[in-house]
Amino acid sequence: MELTPMSIFTAWLGVFSISFTLMPFMMVLDWRRRGTADGFSSVNFVLPMLMTSCWLRHGYMTNDNTNITINTINIGFFIFYILCFAYYQPKRINFDPQTFFQKYLYGQLLACAAAVKLIFMYVDAQNSDVAPDIMGSIAAATQIAGLAGGVYEIKRAISFGHTEYLPALFQFAMFALIVQWLAFGILTGNQYIAKYDHEAQLVWKY
């Protein structure tokens, strides 16, 4: 494989993206220290499952190995985080769906699975020559919609009057990641990635 500035940037972006996915480990350690995940939200663990599933499908449809690798790893990690979140819920010993899955985690997962299934069914029903483009557009749309998770967390922080459950480090890391993916989308001509990250950059700057 020829070593070029673009290949180096692609490798770096992959490492940075995966490293970002590892950041919630700090939250898991915090839950372990507290003995509970009470007060934290599952929204930003469930929404990425929808986004990454769509991008993974788009990666397979376009034979994009970078996309496939990053999103496969991301899905695995977010499944782990969701399991940890569920485990550290109050009253986890006596299983009760209403207390075990705080913030309606169970319903969120069902809604996410249903959305992924419906999206894939819709894409499969399209002509093969346009299906990848449609999947890319949907993936970008779900990721833009996923920004609602950040808005929701900010709203929670305002209502609480503190940012204990919204680590600032995540916000700075997210902005850095978005800027780099925007550059990657522009350099590779991937209009879907570029479009999403341009919109996301505006939101996070605001």
Choice between 202 and 129, residue whose per-residue pLDDT is larger: 129
Choice between 95 and 129, residue whose per-residue pLDDT is larger: 129
| Highest mean pLDDT of the ranges 77-81, 118-122, 128-132, 155-159 | 118-122
- Report which secondary-structure segment, H or E, holds 40: none
Residue identified by tokens 């490492």 is 15
- Angle among Cα 14, 16, 19 to the nearest 5 degrees reads 110
C-alpha dihedral, 23 to 182 to 126 to 123, nearest 10°: 10
pLDDT digits (tens, 9 = 90+) for 152-194: 777 777 787 777 776 556 656 666 666 666 666 677 666 655 5
Would you say 65 and 81 are in contact if contact means Cβ atoms under 8 Å apart?
no
Residues 6 or more apart from 155 whose CB is under 8 A from it? none
pLDDT digits (tens, 9 = 90+) for 30-40: 889 988 888 88
Whether 84 shows a pLDDT value over 80: the answer reads yes
Would you say 156 and 165 are in contact if contact means Cβ atoms under 8 Å apart?
yes
pLDDT band at 72 (very low <50, low <70, confident <90, very high): very high
Number of Cα atoms under 13 Å in the Cβ half of residue 109: 16
Would you say 50 and 135 are in contact if contact means Cβ atoms under 8 Å apart?
no
Using a 10 angstrom Cβ sphere, with 0-12 exposed, 13-18 middle and 19 or more buried, the burial of residue 114 is exposed
Query: Residues 140-149: what's their mean pLDDT?
Result: 75
Residue ranges per structural domain of the chain: 16-29+37-89+99-162
Cβ contacts of 35-40, under 8 Å, gap ≥ 24: 35/88, 36/88, 36/89, 36/90, 37/84, 37/85, 37/88, 37/89, 37/102, 38/89, 38/90, 38/102, 39/164, 39/165, 40/85, 40/165
pLDDT for the residue numbered 117? 96
Whether 203 shows a pLDDT value over 50: the answer reads no
Whether 89 shows a pLDDT value over 70: the answer reads yes
Phi-psi label, residue 162: left if phi above 0, alpha if psi -120 to 50, beta otherwise: beta
